[in-house]
Amino acid sequence: MIRVDIETIMMAAGPVPSAIVLRERSAAESSEAPLRALSIQTGSYEAAAVSKGIDGTPPKRPVAHDVFLEACRALGARVERVEISRFESPVFYADIVLMNEHDAEVRVDARPSDALALAVRANAPVYVEDDVMNRAGTVSYHEDQKTEDEYARFDEFAHTVSPDDF
């Protein structure tokens, strides 16, 4: 399993789907490969539910995700993690992994958007199955510090060049 973070939520209106982009948290230490990203299409309501959970602004009345979390707490369970476990194009499958009061794992099948909305509210980690990332992921274009340093050095060089140098 690969630990991921929510990189971007792209909100769309009308018939165009919204998307939640998950980015690999870190590559293998010995790897020079760029980080990978996974884009999951979803509806605008579902994308907004994830976004509201990230904002942390409590709604005037609880929405379904808040009710689920409160029910878990009342029953002595907590959201341990979320796993994007399967991909059957174009559908992604997720599991919400709960830990009950006896420290036993309980898995609940969920849509990825609902699982992510719960994860952000519960501050639970999100993982993607390696096979899913290999089949449906792409290279993340997230800028890292090394790239920013390269841009800064190039910018310095560009300011020292004149047309006569060519």
**Per-residue pLDDT of the chain in tens (166 residues, 90 and over written 9):** 999 999 999 998 878 899 999 999 876 555 677 889 999 999 888 998 899 888 877 788 888 999 999 999 999 999 999 999 999 988 999 999 999 988 999 999 999 999 999 999 999 999 999 999 999 999 865 555 556 777 777 777 777 766 666 5
What pLDDT is stored for residue 39 in this prediction?
94
Q: Which CATH architecture does the domain made up of 2-165 adopt?
A: Roll (3.10)
Q: CA 130 to CA 136: how far, in whole Å?
A: 10
What pLDDT is stored for residue 31 in this prediction?
64
Q: Where are the domains of the chain?
A: 2-165
Structure-block tokens of residue 60 = 């005037």
What pLDDT is stored for residue 158 in this prediction?
72
What pLDDT is stored for residue 151 in this prediction?
74
pTM above 0.75, yes or no: yes
Where helices occur in 17-144 by DSSP H, the ranges are: 44-55, 64-74, 112-122, 130-136
